[in-house]
Amino acid sequence: MNALLTSSQRQLVRVISESGPLSRTEMANLLGLSKAAMSGIARDLIDLGVLHETETVYGQGRPSVRLDLHPECAFFVGISLLEDPAPMILCDLNGKIIARQSMPLSRDPQVIAEAITEGLPRLLETHPSAKEKLSGIGVALSGFVDETQSNCVQSTLLNWQDVPLAKIIRERTGVETFIENDAKAVAVSEKLFGSAREIQSFSVVSLGDGIGCAHFIDGKLYRGNHGGAGEIAHCTIEPGGSPCRCGKRGCLDTASSMKAIKEMSRAEGLECVSLSDIENEASTGNAAAIRILHRAGSGLGLAIANLIQINDPGLILITHVEGSFDGLFGTVVNQAIETNVLPRYAGQTPIRIKRVDGDVWARGAASIAAHNFLIGPNSN
């Protein structure tokens, strides 16, 4: 079905997905087409069930009718291979999660494909038209993925090397499948479903056990030459600092990831199991807790400041699963950003904090499928 869309139709779909509902005339102007051409394209897409008319906007002259993507014109499945059991969700074109379940995690691609195939029917029966309108499966994993979003070039976590996971799943399930790095998937979901829809260039920093990062540049996910763009976790932030499992020293990961923060607290003898615990300790004046949060916060802030200096993004979106950014940690991060960007820049780059739930990765995965459906692999 996707392949049936013409180049102009896809462009239109893309514009609406970025800007939200638009009138035909607005769309014509945005795409640089005539009203006549627009009329036909819109009619075809409405007939196909991709678009539908929404509100009518009254002004001077004939009122305009806004067109929007029909949320239920396509459904996507997203699977996160970052947790065990692996979450598996079904969502629509708006990123709304319709059903949720899980499957056992495995390191064997065949077993994964099998588990997905088994789980699919149960997921799809939650919505009457999901089965026939299932348009893709997306898989998020920790590791490097090639530019076709089909092969996992390398994953330490899964112990993979050149695994054509997407192809295996595609063949087993018969559904179009794409895989992507976890942080990049989150960035895509923020662009497609989230708070960065209308922003052309932005970076997402996802803070969890590890630290992930991905860039959208000029409206496109930038994957980097080896798929490694955004590997901010292994930027040297404390020259000569503690050794990192990657083999070098002073990586951001050793100072600012949740895992590092917890390890540092344990080493200091603090009985903390979450960021909130440490924040609490710090607020009561515990010197070790304060020191740890300071170190972690200023490290992350410096890394983000470097990112801003290097790429001048239109937005930094920090997503975090645990704790909050209202405490010492968040304050230090913000301070460190401010003191390390060119003073004239300071405050010029919006920093948005977003607490995300356990569905981030699965939703991110689904967004990869949705992105390929909406915009396609070759972004002409």
Partner DNA sequence: ACACTAAGTTCAGAAAATGAACAAATCAAC
Partner DNA sequence: GTTGATTTGTTCATTTTCTGAACTTAGTGT
Binding site for a second copy (CB under 8 A): 154, 201, 213, 215, 217-218, 220, 222-232, 234-236, 239, 246-248, 302, 305-307, 309-314, 339-345, 348-349
CB of 235 to a second copy, least distance (A): 5
Residues 32-71 that bind DNA (CB under 7 A): 32-43, 56, 58-65
CA proximity to 168, closest of 154, 159, 179? 179
What, of a second copy, DNA, none, does residue 309 touch, CB below 5 to 8 Å by kind? a second copy
The least distance separating a second copy from the CB of residue 116, rounded to whole angstroms, comes to 29
Smallest gap from Cβ 81 to a second copy, in A, equals 20
CB of 30 vs a second copy, minimal distance in Å? 13
274: CB partners within 8 A, 6+ apart: 262, 322, 323
Instruction: Pick the closer one to a second copy by CB: 70 or 191.
Output: 191
110 contact choice in DNA, a second copy, none (CB below 5 to 8 Å, kind-dependent) = none
Which 8-state DSSP code applies to residue 179? E
Task: Write down the least CB distance from residue 65 to DNA, Å.
Answer: 4
Residue 247 interacting partner from DNA, a second copy, none (CB closer than 5 to 8 Å by kind): a second copy
Q: Which residue, among 94, 43, 56, has the nearest Cα to 73 in the 3D structure?
A: 94
| 240 interacts with, out of a second copy, DNA, none, CB within 5 to 8 A per kind | none
Does position 19 bind DNA by CB under 7 A? Answer: no
Report helix, strand or coil for 263. helix
The entry of a second copy, DNA, none near residue 35 (CB within 5 to 8 angstroms by kind) is DNA
Our CB check for DNA shows the closer of 43 and 226 to be 43
Kindly state the tokens that stand for 103: 């499957």
- Please give the Cα distance from 65 to 22 (Å, whole number): 8
Q: 227 contacts which partner out of a second copy, DNA, none, CB within 5 to 8 A by kind? A: a second copy
Residue 347 tokens read as 């405050």
Q: How far is the CB of 57 from DNA (least distance, A)?
A: 8
Residue position matching structure tokens 């499945």: 77
Q: Amino acid identity of 62?
A: R
Please name the amino acid found at residue 129: S
Q: Which does 6 bind (CB under 5 to 8 A by kind): DNA, a second copy, none?
A: DNA
In the complex with DNA, the residue whose CB is nearer, 51 or 90, is 51
Strand ranges of the sheet holding 86-92, from the earlier edge strand across to the other edge: 97-103, 86-92, 75-80, 134-141, 177-181
Site string for DNA, 307-346 (x = CB under 7 A): ----------------------------------------
Q: How far is the CB of 14 from DNA (least distance, A)?
A: 14
Question: What contacts 291, CB < 8 A, 6 or more positions away?
Answer: none
Nearer to DNA, 27 or 278 (CB): 27
- Shortest Cβ distance from residue 190 to a second copy (Å)? 16
* Sequence-ordered strand ranges (E) for the chain: 22-23, 51-57, 64-69, 75-80, 86-92, 97-103, 134-141, 144-145, 152-155, 160-163, 177-181, 202-207, 211-217, 220-222, 316-320, 351-355
**Could you count the other beta carbons within 10 Å of the beta carbon of residue 237?**
23
Is-contact 223 180, C-beta < 8 A?
no
Nearer to DNA, 61 or 343 (CB): 61
Distance from first CA to last CA of the chain, Å, rounded? 18
Residue 159 binding: pick among DNA, a second copy, none (C-beta 5-8 Å cut-off by kind): none
Among DNA, a second copy, none, what binds residue 220 when CB lies within 5 to 8 Å by partner kind?
A: a second copy
Give the three-state DSSP class for 254: helix
Name the residue with tokens 């070039």.
153
Q: How far is the CB of 207 from a second copy (least distance, A)?
A: 16
Task: Give the interface with DNA as residue ranges (CB under 7 A).
Answer: 6-8, 23-26, 32-43, 56, 58-65
